[in-house]
Structure 1
Amino acid sequence: MKATIVTIGDEILIGQIIDTNSGFIAKSLDKIGIQITEMLSISDDKKQILDTFLSLQNKVDLVVITGGLGPTKDDITKHTFCEYFDDKLIQNDEVLDHVTALIEGIFNRPITQMNKDQALVPSKCHVLFNKVGTAPGMWMKKENTVFISLPGVPYEMKYLVENEILPKVVREYKRPYILHKTILTYGQGESLVAERIEDWENNLPEFIKLAYLPAPGRVRLRLSARGTNKEILEKAIDENVISLTKIIGDIIVGFDEDETIEVVLGRLLTQQGKTISTAESCTGGKIAQVFASVSGASSYFVGSVVSYATETKVSVLGVSQQAIDAFSVVSSQVATQMALGVQKLMKTDYAIATTGNAGPLKGDADATIGTVFIALATPSGVIVEEFNFGQPREKVIDRAVNKAFEMIQKEILKNL
């Protein structure tokens, strides 16, 4: 089966909001064996919507549309559906009861006519009941293509995808299996990783495809297998992951989308009963943010000091003014004192510290722009390294964050 995802909204086209719905829908459909051929964003214009529908008719099996289902006049998706399917809007009593209970019972205000109009749906559509919002979804088929309309509000869209669309597609359509396995590597660039695994890649079965997903300081390798026999696909994926691990096991830190390095580190720290804290200057709290993004991080991540200003390094972390005067605020000596300072302040087993010139201006330091010192305080001492991550500023920060996690992981693994 093939599908196209269409987002409707001028706010997306002018960059006022970022389309996150398409990624969620694509990932959800891919898991049940539906191939996404295209993602489109179009304006809130009836002709544009109709032309898009016509161009996709019989070209794909599913067209999933988000947006344009609100109660205001600029939301025209339902009316456009009626025109395309030669239909008319009728009141759905179940939806009206739900909208009334939501507005009057939970929001505690009188229901308006505009709210009631949310219960109007095309008479020929299969209603996708939206228990978490007021706008129902719509499922309508014309010839060989199903058109599915969903609200643009992300949590409402997600509810309908998970509870209405996926179960219905699984029940009614026969689909191939599409399996993915993601291998997360740290510390080597895309070209070097590709060189190391070239022979392995050349010998992959035809039904397994490899994709490189690079980011500063890390590369994700995604294996994708497509076929009708799930057991054969799983076995082939597992065998090739094992053989890959023998080649680049030194830089593999995790598997699958959720097995990021911060998740791996959290598990390692928890298993060892150890804690960690951060002292960040040039990274501005981003290491702490990534740590805290993992559920349950409070059991090992104690806290952070974002000592962006020089005086904060001195007054909060106890960095000596003499070290700053002698070696500059961007130096191994200052990074070391920052790590030791936050380790003492937070009473943690490990502490990571960053100081550097991310650019575009030098600030209080004389070091070359792109220079970053990262210090890791451990129970037995301090490890400090110097890097130059170049430019632009965003690249320097991202690479510093990734390198910090890599340093932490390598040190913790020594103690296993």
Structure 2
Amino acid sequence: MNASIITIGDEILIGQIIDTNSSYIAKALDKIGVSINEMLSISDEKQHILNTLKQLQNKVDLVIITGGLGPTKDDITKKTFCKYFEDELVENDSVLLHVKEIIEGFYKRPITQINRDQALVPSKATVLFNKVGTAPGMWIKKENTVYVSLPGVPYEMKYLVDEVIVPKLISEYNRASIVHKTIMTYGRGESLIAEQIEDWEDNLPEHIKLAYLPSPGKVRLRLSSKGFDEKVLNEEIDFQVQKLHEIIGEIIIGTENDQPIENVVSDLLRKENRTLAVAESCTGGRIAQLLTAIPGASVFFKGGVVCYATESKINVLGVSEDLISMHSVVSKQVAESMATQAKKIFKSDYAIATTGNAGPEKGDSDVEVGTVFIAFATPNGVFSEEFNFGQPREKVTGRAVNKGFEILYKEILKKE
């Protein structure tokens, strides 16, 4: 089974909002074996919508559309559906009752005609009841293609996808299994990895595909396969992953299906009953932000300091002014002092410190733009490593954060 996903809204096309709906729908469909052929964002224009529906007719099994179901005049999806399916709008009693309960019961005001119009649906459509909003979803089949229209409001769309669409597809359609496994690697570039695993990649079975997904400081390797025996597919992919570990196991942290590296580090800290603090300059609190987004982080994360300016390193963290004058604010010595002070202040087992020139200007140091020192205070002492992550600025900070987690992970595994 294959599908196309369409988002309707000029606000997406002009960059006013980011389309997160398509990503959510794609992941949900992929999990149940529906292949995504394409994602489209189109304008709130009747003829454009009609042309798109026609172009996809009989080319895919399923078209899921989000947006344009609101109560205002610029929301034209229902009327456009009627035009395409040669249908008319009728009032649905169940939807109308639900709308009244929300407007009169929750908002405590009389229902208006605009609110009442939310209960209008094409007569040929199967109504997808939306318990968390006023706009119902619609399901219409024309020849070999099913068209599904969903509200653009993310939480309403998610409810209908999870509670209505996915169960309906599972019960009514035979689907192949799609299996993905994504291997997380840190500390080595995409081209070097490709050279190291070239023979392995060339000998992959034809039905197993490899994709490289690089980002600052890490490369994800995604293995994908499709078929009707999910158990066999998983066994085949696991076998290939085992062979991959034999080649580049030293840079593999885990699988994306498990969790990202900050979660891997947090789990290891919990397991070892260890705690962590951070002192961040060039990374601006991003390490702490990732850690505190993890539920229960207070068990292992003691706290952090964003000492961005030189004076904050001196006055808040307690780094020696003479040390900075002697070695520069971006240096091995200052990074190690920052880590040591953070470990001392927060009484943690480990501490990470970052200081560098993220660019585009040099700031308080004359070292080359892109230079970053990352220091680690551990139960056995303190050490640091120097890197040059190049440019742009976002690349520098992103790679510094990932490198900090990568080195800390390996250090904790040593178990002194």
- Alpha-carbon deviation of 1:256? 2.8
The residue identity in structure 2 corresponding to 1:168 is: K
For residues 375 and 108 of structure 1, the distance between their equivalents in structure 2, rounded to whole angstroms, comes to 58
Distance (whole Å) between structure 2 residues aligned to residue 159 and residue 403 of structure 1: 37
- The residue correspondences of 1:19-58 to structure 2 (distance < 5 A) are 19-58=19-58
Q: Which residue of 1 aligns with 2:396?
A: 396
What corresponds to 1:106 in structure 2?
106
Q: CA deviation at 1:295?
A: 2.5
Unpaired stretches in structure 2, ≥5 consecutive residues? none
Q: Shift of residue 66 of structure 1?
A: 0.6
- Taking structure 2 as the reference length, the TM-score comes to 0.98
SS at match of 1:39: strand
Q: Deviation of residue 144 (structure 1)? A: 0.6
State the one-letter code of the partner of 1:356: G
CA distance in 1, matches of 2:120, 2:304: 52
Q: SS of the counterpart of 1:250?
A: helix
Q: Take 1:50 and 1:213, find their aligned partners in 2: how far apart are those partners?
A: 35
> 2:268: which partner in 1?
268
The superposition leaves residues 272-303 of structure 1 with CA deviations (integer Å, 9 ceiling, x where unpaired) of: 11111111111111111111222222221222
Which residue in 2 is equivalent to 1:284?
284
Could you tell me which residue of structure 2 aligns to residue 171 of structure 1?
171
Q: Distance in 2 between matches of 1:97 and 1:348?
A: 58
Q: 2:220 — aligned with what?
A: 220
Matches within 5 A, 1:138-177: 138-177=138-177
Corresponding residue of 2:412? 412
1:386 deviates by 0.9
Rounded to whole Å, the distance in 1 between the matches of 2:109 and 2:267 is 47
Report what 2:74 is aligned to. 74
CA distance in 1, matches of 2:287, 2:279: 9
- Which has the larger displacement, 162-171 or 229-238? 229-238
Cα distance in structure 1, aligned partners of 2:303 and 2:145: 53
Structure-1 separation of matches of 2:70 and 2:303: 42
Equivalent residue number for residue 184 of structure 1? 184
The residue type equivalent to 1:399 in the other structure is: R
* SS class of match (2:250): coil
Partner of 1:126: 126
Q: Which stretches of structure 1, 4 residues or longer, exceed 6 Å deviation after superposition?
A: none
Q: Tell me how far 1:390 sits from its aligned partner.
A: 0.9
Q: Which moved more, 1:88-97 or 1:275-284?
A: 88-97
Partner of residue 137, structure 1: 137
One-letter code aligned to 1:149 = S
In 2, Cα distance between the equivalents of 1:410 and 1:322?
A: 33
Distance 1:233 1:208 in 2: 9
For 2:62, the equivalent position in structure 1 comes to 62
Q: Alpha-carbon deviation of 1:258? A: 4.2
Partner of 2:321: 321
Aligned amino acid, residue 228 of structure 2? T
Structure 1 alignment gaps of length 5 or more: none
Q: What's the counterpart of residue 12 of structure 1?
A: 12
Distance 1:275 1:265 in 2: 11
Query: Could you state the TM-score of these two structures normalised by the residue count of structure 1?
Result: 0.98
Question: In the aligned structure 1, how far is the partner of 2:363 from the partner of 2:132?
Answer: 49
Q: Which amino acid aligns with 1:312?
A: S
In structure 2, the partner of 1:331 is: 331
Aligned residues: 416
Q: What amino acid is the match of 1:412?
A: I
Cα distance in structure 2, aligned partners of 1:104 and 1:399: 52
1:352 partnered with 2:352 = yes
Q: Report deviation, 1:328.
A: 1.1
Q: Which segment is superposed worse, 192-201 or 255-264?
A: 255-264
| Aligned partner of residue 338 in structure 2, secondary structure | helix
**Cα offset, 1:257, TM superposition:** 3.6
Residues 152-184 of structure 1: CA distance to partner in whole angstroms, max 9, x if unpaired? Answer: 111111111111111111111111111111110
